[in-house]
Amino acid sequence: MTGNDIRWGIIGCGDVTERKSGPAFQKVKGSRLVAVMRRNRDKAEDYAQRHGVPKWYDKAEDLIHDPDVNAVYVATPPSSHKEYTLAAAKALKPVYVEKPMAMRYSECQEMIETCEKQGVPLFVAYYRRALPRFLKIKFLLDSGAIGAIRFVNILYQEKPRTKDLRGEKHWRVDPAIAGGGYFCDLASHMLDFLQYCIGDIQSATGFSSNQMELYKAEDMVSGTFEFPENILGTGIWNFNAYTHKDRTEIIGEKGRIIYSTFNEEPILFENDAGTKSFRIKNPPHIQQPLIQLVVNSLLGKGDCPSTGHTAARTSWVMDRILD
């Protein structure tokens, strides 16, 4: 891109943009947040005034075609990711879209094809690919700390929930909006990061059920998958358990790594010599490191590890498990 900075417009300035992402666009080098959009104009104005954003809209097309906006962040639920990505691409504006990338892998493919046809970069908010905490895990694996990787085991469970923090019915358990249930929202991060560390999953299958029938989406998922070099993986995601558990274990020929994807628990590295723990906190705005890499890439100063192609692969895996 030409110019000295990336001038962002956000479509969907909801909860995720309040702290995780929105402020980061103002803080990373070479970036500014110049416009936001929400269907409720009063809420868009409120967000803009609180975050020091000069423009606000209640129609996505107005933001996309604002000449001051030269890149678009799509922060809406998955049901509209494809629509807004295609619209921004056709306006020749790079896109950074929330995860999961789309409702299905087929939508991801259409998004990629349109962006490539228009010559527009496409990035996806799998921000663990840039967080220091998770880069430590990747470093341990890349350096051979546990030797050749043998298998991966994921266990995620939590108590039943149907509402968000405001007590409103949660869109994340409405398949028409989210593409599935909490599995799509949470497992996507877990599977994407594992693919970043180990390689693209080659095959996957699974079972899903709605045990409690609190909502239309699945609340229990089991999956098996295979990475390159015959590395196998299993996962259980249970959203109606009696307590919370978030544990991923990567087993190698010389040791193992245990970590939590969503909690800031210590990373554990264990081998015959004993166990080491690493405490690495996340930054206040958890997407900021990845957004910096997106901006760097757009300015021709580096590469971003989370693209439409890498994110689509994660959607492909989830489709296989749920199907």
| 276 and 296 fall within a common domain | no
| 93 and 174 fall within a common domain | no
CB 19 within 8 A of CB 279: no
CA distance 140 to 142: 6
Give 103-128 pLDDT, tens digit per residue. 999 999 999 999 999 999 999 999 99
Report if residue 210 sits inside a domain. Answer: yes
In which band, very low, low, confident or very high, does the pLDDT at 168 lie, cut at 50, 70 and 90? confident
Q: What is the mean pLDDT of residues 284-297?
A: 98
| 198 and 263 fall within a common domain | yes
pLDDT computed for residue 219 by the predictor: 97
pLDDT computed for residue 164 by the predictor: 72
| 176 and 297 fall within a common domain | no
| 277 and 142 fall within a common domain | yes
- Per-residue tokens: 158: 């939590």
Q: What is the mean pLDDT of residues 84-105?
A: 98
Report if residue 239 sits inside a domain. Answer: yes
Q: What is the mean pLDDT of residues 182-205?
A: 98
pLDDT computed for residue 309 by the predictor: 98
Single-letter code of the amino acid located at 5:
D
- Per-residue tokens: 225: 């998958």
CA distance 216 to 194: 28
CB 43: neighbour CB atoms within 10 A?
15
| 91 and 137 fall within a common domain | no
pLDDT computed for residue 300 by the predictor: 97
CA distance 12 to 252: 42
Give the count of domains, the chain.
2
Single-letter code of the amino acid located at 289:
P
| 259 and 196 fall within a common domain | yes
Range in 78-87, 163-172, 255-264, 288-297 with the lowest mean pLDDT: 163-172
pLDDT computed for residue 265 by the predictor: 96
Q: Is the pLDDT of residue 302 over 70?
A: yes
Look up the CATH number of the domain holding residue 73: 3.40.50.720
* SS3 (DSSP) at 56: strand
Q: Is the pTM of this model over 0.75?
A: yes
| 89 and 158 fall within a common domain | no
Q: How far is CA 119 from CA 1, 94, 114, 309, in A?
A: 11, 9, 8, 14
In which band, very low, low, confident or very high, does the pLDDT at 167 lie, cut at 50, 70 and 90? confident
Domain that holds residue 136: 132-281
| 247 and 300 fall within a common domain | no
Report if residue 314 sits inside a domain. Answer: no
Give 10-41 pLDDT, tens digit per residue. 999 999 999 999 999 999 999 999 999 999 99
CA distance 98 to 311: 10
In the chain, beta strands by DSSP E: 6-11, 31-37, 55-57, 71-74, 95-97, 122-124, 149-157, 203-209, 220-226, 232-238, 245-252, 255-259, 267-271, 274-278
pLDDT computed for residue 163 by the predictor: 80
Q: What is the mean pLDDT of residues 244-251?
A: 98
Report if residue 317 sits inside a domain. Answer: no
State the burial class of residue 99 (Cβ atoms within 10 Å of its Cβ: 0-12, 13-18, 19+): buried
Q: Is the pLDDT of residue 204 over 90?
A: yes
Look up the CATH number of the domain holding residue 259: 3.30.360.10
Give 34-63 pLDDT, tens digit per residue. 999 999 999 999 999 999 999 999 999 999
Q: What is the mean pLDDT of residues 74-78?
A: 98
pLDDT computed for residue 3 by the predictor: 60
| 28 and 167 fall within a common domain | no
